[in-house]
Chain A
Amino acid sequence: EAQVTQNPRYLITVTGKKLTVTCSQNMNHEYMSWYRQDPGLGLRQIYYSMNVEVTDKGDVPEGYKVSRKEKRNFPLILESPSPNQTSLYFCASSLGSGFSGNTIYFGEGSWLTVV
């Protein structure tokens, strides 16, 4: 089954404690991306990757890092989480080395609370 898998799905952590949210897709997609969803703001892109070792900032990259060492994986790293990073996070993937209007497939989401 084609899917985008995120872990953890739910996490409560403390300010400053580094954490990683993993994302894996089994569709051989080149394009992957991270979004955060906040009430009244819709979904906003954090980072994206057009292929292995190719990543770039989205609209709200501050406080986040990503890496793309393998095609299927695109982890989101919060080096020093702060309460304003409390949010619902979605990983997404799409066919093609750049997003060009192909269908985006979202993971199930990761609820992150930073206290």
Chain B
Amino acid sequence: GENVEQHPSTLSVQEGDSAVIKCTYSDSASNYFPWYKQELGKRPQLIIDIRSNVGEKKDQRIAVTLNKTAKHFSLHITETQPEDSAVYFCAASAPGAQKLVFGQGTRLTINP
């Protein structure tokens, strides 16, 4: 079955700098790759997603890139702000799998 590896597990950046979180997946049939943000004590919330027919997607300060050949995808956050501090999860899903397979999570801390 699908396996998703996420790195790094913790990331600390200065406010205003960029943050990059990377995930690799194992199932070449996976075609849906969402990113979730989870603030302390809250539910995971979808922040951006990408499908396998697209190489990059951007929404204001966040972007996701997908490399199907290498089976990895990344989340990019530019001009980081204190409210970006949270745990971020990547996930992948293959057709018919009936689930999202999540990475282990990255705790992002933005230092003022």
Which residues of A are interface residues toward B (Cβ below 8 A)?
A: 31, 33, 35, 40-45, 48, 50, 56, 58-59, 90, 98-101, 103-104, 106-109
Do the beta carbons of A98 and B93 come within 8 Å of each other? Answer: no
Q: Chain B contact residues (Cβ within 8 angstroms of A): what range?
A: 20 to 34
Chain A residue, CB-CB nearest to B97: A99
State A100–B99 Cα separation when bound (angstroms). 9
Chain A residue, CB-CB nearest to B51: A101
A40 in contact with B104 given A90-B43, A107-B43, A109-B43 (CB within 8 Å): yes
A-B pair number, CB within 8 angstroms:
58
Do the beta carbons of A56 and B98 come within 8 Å of each other? Answer: yes
Most buried by A among B4, B9, B93: B93
State A57–B99 Cα separation when bound (angstroms). 11
